[in-house]
Amino acid sequence: MTFPRATFLLIATICAMLTACDSSCDNDAPTITLPNSIEATGGIFFCYQPEGTDLDNPNIAISFENYPSWLTADTDSLYGTPPDGLGDTSFVVIASSSSSADTLEIAIDMIPCLVVYGDTRSDHDTHRQVVAGIAGLHPATVFHTGDLVDDGRVAAQWDSFNLITEQMRASAEFFPAAGNHEKQSQLYFDNFELPGNEQWYSVDRNGIHFIILNSCVATDTASEQYQWLESDLTQTSDSTDFTIAIFHHPPYSTGPHTEDERGLRDTWVPLLEQYGVNVVFNGHDHCYERSFCGGIYYIVAGGGGAPLYDQERQHECSQVFLKSFHFCKLSTINDRLIVNVYDLAGEQIDRFELLK
């Protein structure tokens, strides 16, 4: 049988349409392209939404499998706030159409928190409560702002300090700054194994460069410590997101001690400002205070157990003053540094946040 030319044209047109449909109808095959490793940290809201090809197509269904119990699945996302102390985990995301599907296992890397506290001295019951609160956060590293004991020359006081902190220090690194009550005693240095010369040193944790200094010895611009500090600041790694300095005497405080007792506003502070230090943690005054001056947050974290102090004066840099026992939790996630401050009851008494 012979078909007219018009019939051939019609058949050819239909075949071309079918071919186009075959290629376009399967174009809704989804592809998940999001990196398979993401980060989360305890106490900070977490949300995951897959990214990829054709995932916005209404014919694509998104589902999740094997996700941890702290997460909730929505139509196209997972969200929740992880508790502190969790290990790394994972889940599976599935994007499916009527004809195909794509799956990807997503690893969640849990970033542990860090803690700063100080001025523990002789109130052992309060110190135990502070340590219990810190231990509940399961920190990877704990920093102390000085005055660990009442008299650093008395061995029995170090025995008490070690008894109170031994479980916390068994699971977390511990980096102290020397306070005036340590009295430069050899017992202080014998009690810890610290980097560098153990009086001033630096460590990097969670994208933060921590500089621990000794404000109880020479701090002038000609001192060995000043020269070391300037050298350390100039050699900060490119991978550093934030820089934090920790030492005992506060440059900014409205507590009862002499304002800027060690004259650090004329020595260290200009250097810290020049090299973009983000936060300074101090002790000495037994209170919590947040000040902001010269682009730097100055935090007095002296509420670890020593007798609490009242506010004695005002200063334009001071933002928050609280007569409260406390500790500070540092969390890093997505180029953010989040500082939460808690009292003995576990209540949040302050919070501030920095962006890289």
- 76, 110, 144: which is the final residue of a domain? 110
pTM score: 0.90
pLDDT, residue 356, reads 92
Give domain status of residue 208, yes or no. yes
CATH of the domain at 47: 2.60.40.10
Q: What residues contact 149, with CB distance under 8 A and at least 6 apart?
A: 120, 121, 122, 157, 158, 160, 161, 181, 182
Q: Are residues 106 and 143 in the same domain?
A: no
Give domain status of residue 3, yes or no. no
The tokens describing 21, both together, are 């449909």
Q: Are residues 93 and 207 in the same domain?
A: no
Give domain status of residue 4, yes or no. no
Q: Are residues 205 and 291 in the same domain?
A: yes
CATH of the domain at 285: 3.60.21.10
Q: Are residues 97 and 148 in the same domain?
A: no
Distances (CA, A) of 75 to 48, 58, 119, 319: 12, 12, 50, 42
Q: Are residues 197 and 321 in the same domain?
A: yes
pLDDT, residue 4, reads 42
Q: What domain count does the chain have?
A: 2
pLDDT, residue 27, reads 52
pLDDT, residue 229, reads 98
Q: Are residues 206 and 258 in the same domain?
A: yes
Q: Are residues 337 and 294 in the same domain?
A: yes
Q: Are residues 64 and 178 in the same domain?
A: no
Q: Are residues 142 and 266 in the same domain?
A: yes
Q: Are residues 154 and 208 in the same domain?
A: yes
pLDDT, residue 28, reads 58
One digit per residue, the tens of pLDDT, for the chain of length 356 reads 443 433 333 233 323 333 333 434 445 578 998 888 999 999 999 999 999 888 888 889 999 999 999 999 998 999 999 999 999 999 999 999 888 899 999 999 999 999 999 999 999 999 999 999 999 999 999 999 999 999 999 999 999 999 999 999 999 999 999 999 999 999 999 999 999 999 999 999 999 999 999 999 999 999 999 999 999 999 988 889 999 999 999 999 999 999 999 999 999 999 999 999 999 999 999 999 999 999 999 999 999 999 999 999 999 999 999 999 999 999 999 999 999 999 999 999 999 999 99
Which among 117, 86, 121, 92 is positioned nearest to 104, based on CA atoms?
A: 92
pLDDT, residue 137, reads 97
pLDDT, residue 270, reads 98
Give domain status of residue 288, yes or no. yes
* Burial (Cβ within 10 Å: 0-12, 13-18, ≥19) of residue 268: buried
- In whole angstroms, give the CA distance from residue 341 to residue 116: 9
Collapsed DSSP state (helix, strand, coil) of residue 241? coil
List, in sequence order, the alpha helices (H) in 106-223.
124-135, 155-171, 186-191
Structural domain for 273, as ranges = 112-355
